[in-house]
């Protein structure tokens, strides 16, 4: 399959009877011209050997974080950057726990923790272990981090029991990854523009009007788009956040600067305006610091409406324009009104009056309002912003493709 030609696949094999299935999975990828490297955990070597993997993959097998040879040839950071996608198959309950805790005690967990690529997990364990609440909690954490699950399935187990927990068939794992890479290849031709964070509107050289937006939701959306292969540009107001190197980051401060940066990056296929752009600016910025006085009058004027400009552009309107509505009351009514008035395709609304979500929080709860005769809307329940962004991008991929 052309989707896999020269694609770099990093396999991580954990200890468990299902480890033998990874040999067939590797064979399928190698047969389709993928480039493969493999990490074996300490316990995985009790079930499969480096020699058997090397003979199938014709690639390097790594198995020790502190190997001088490995670190000289390719350190754990470089190995995580080398891969186009990472597959952990099988992944055990123990490794699921370690990843959920952010552990980096061996090469496998260190590489996964350091990765900025999509990580797929194919669990394999006893049905009781799979159904245990601690496993469910740990998996929920990993989903929040953006990991994707393949399986497990229901079937007979090596222990003699029957139920859910059996590792997915190698062909199913192969097809899942192939489909992901196929969409990623298509998406590389698609340009996406995201705005994020607040803007600062200066009163004088040291004082300005701003808001409490952290930019976290917009940054997470940009990361999710980039992981899916989109050619992603992020225009960010003032934040303390970092972004992946493969995302084109443009830093601005004022609404006018954000507007000009947006203009320069048109045309684009997708535009997502998550930035909390100040609606007003000072009509005349004081060139010197204003000294303390009894009273101070500030005159405001309307800022440029970036979303309205792009969504109503005659020649360079993106195929998909998504706006955000941060509200403190009448959430659905205000979102529906904004959807119509701004000529958007979607409005994503959230209630910023809640203390546990919205501005400056790692969590969010949003409702997507679609441009639709039936006024269709869809609620994404309370979860981490990283997971919200994955769900938003899932829907973008569906609509674009």
- Span(s) in the chain for CATH 3.40.50.1950: 2-185
Q: What are 43's two structure tokens?
A: 């316990």
14 is catalytic: no
Which pLDDT score is estimated for 151?
A: 92
Task: For strands 280-282 and 300-302, give the pairing.
Answer: antiparallel
Q: Which among 17, 154, 159, 290 is annotated as catalytic?
A: 159
β-strand pairing of 248-251 with 191-196: unpaired
In this structure, are residues 215 and 194 in contact, taking their beta carbons and an 8 Å threshold?
Answer: no
For residue 267, whether the previous peptide bond is cis, meaning omega lies within 30 degrees of 0, is yes
What does the pLDDT read at residue 69?
Answer: 58
Q: For residues 53 and 57, give the distance between their C-alpha atoms in angstroms, rounded to a whole number.
A: 6
Query: Which candidate, 68, 70, 72, places its Cα nearest to that of 38?
Result: 70
pLDDT-flagged residues of the chain (< 70): 1-2, 64-75
The secondary element (H helix, E strand) that includes residue 176 is: helix 170-187
Round to whole Å and give the CA distance between 387 and 8: 25
Q: What is the pLDDT of residue 67?
A: 61
Q: What is the edge-to-edge ordering of all strands in the sheet holding 35-40?
A: 61-62, 35-40, 8-13, 85-91, 118-123, 148-149
In the chain, which residues fall in CATH 3.40.50.10300?
Answer: 188-400
* Topology of the domain covering 2-185: Rossmann fold (3.40.50)
Q: Which CATH class is domain 188-400?
A: alpha beta
pLDDT digit string (tens) for 154-195? 988 777 788 899 999 999 999 999 999 998 888 889 999 999
For 290, phi and psi rounded to 5 degrees?
Answer: -75, 125
pLDDT score at 155: 86
CB contact set of 277 (below 8 Å; sequence gap of 6+): 195, 199, 237, 255, 258, 303, 306
């Amino acid at each position: 399959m052309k989707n896999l030609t020269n694609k770099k696949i990093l396999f991580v094999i954990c200890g468990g009877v299902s480890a033998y299935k990874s040999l067939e999975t590797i064979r399928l990828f190698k047969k389709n011209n993928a480039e493969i490297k493999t990490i074996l955990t300490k316990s995985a070597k009790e079930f499969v050997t480096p020699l058997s993997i090397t003979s199938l993959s014709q690639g390097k097998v790594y198995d020790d974080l502190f190997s001088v040879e490995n670190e000289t040839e390719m350190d754990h950071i470089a190995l995580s950057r080398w891969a186009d996608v990472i597959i952990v198959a099988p992944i055990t309950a123990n490794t699921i726990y370690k990843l959920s805790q952010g552990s980096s005690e061996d090469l496998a967990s260190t590489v996964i923790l350091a990765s900025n690529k999509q990580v797929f997990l194919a669990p394999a364990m006893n049905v009781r272990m799979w159904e245990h609440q601690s496993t469910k909690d740990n998996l929920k954490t990993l989903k929040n981090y953006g990991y994707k699950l393949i399986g497990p399935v229901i079937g007979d187990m090596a222990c003699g029991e029957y139920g859910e927990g059996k590792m997915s068939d190698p062909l199913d794992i192969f097809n899942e990854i192939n489909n992901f890479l196929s969409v990623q290849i298509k998406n590389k031709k698609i340009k996406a523009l995201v705005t994020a964070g607040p803007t600062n509107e200066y009163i004088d050289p040291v004082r300005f009007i701003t808001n409490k937006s952290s930019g976290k939701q917009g940054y997470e959306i940009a990361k999710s788009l980039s992981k899916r292969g989109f050619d992603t540009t992020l225009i960010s107001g003032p934040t303390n956040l970092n972004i992946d190197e493969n995302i084109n980051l443009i830093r601005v401060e004022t609404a006018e600067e954000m507007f000009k940066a947006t203009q320069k990056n048109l045309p684009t296929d997708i535009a997502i305006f998550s930035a909390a752009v100040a609606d007003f600016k000072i009509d005349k910025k004081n060139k010197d610091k204003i000294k303390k006085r009894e009273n101070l009058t500030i005159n405001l004027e309307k800022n440029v409406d970036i979303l309205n400009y792009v969504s109503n552009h005659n020649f360079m309107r993106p195929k998909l324009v998504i706006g955000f509505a941060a509200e403190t009351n009448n959430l659905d009514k205000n979102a529906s009104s904004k959807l119509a008035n701004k000529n958007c395709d979607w409005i994503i609304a959230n209630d910023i009056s809640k203390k546990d979500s919205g501005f400056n929080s790692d969590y969010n709860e949003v409702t997507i309002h679609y441009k639709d005769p039936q006024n269709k809307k869809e609620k994404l329940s309370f979860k981490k912003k990283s997971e919200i962004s994955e769900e938003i991008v899932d829907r973008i991929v569906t609509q674009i493709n």
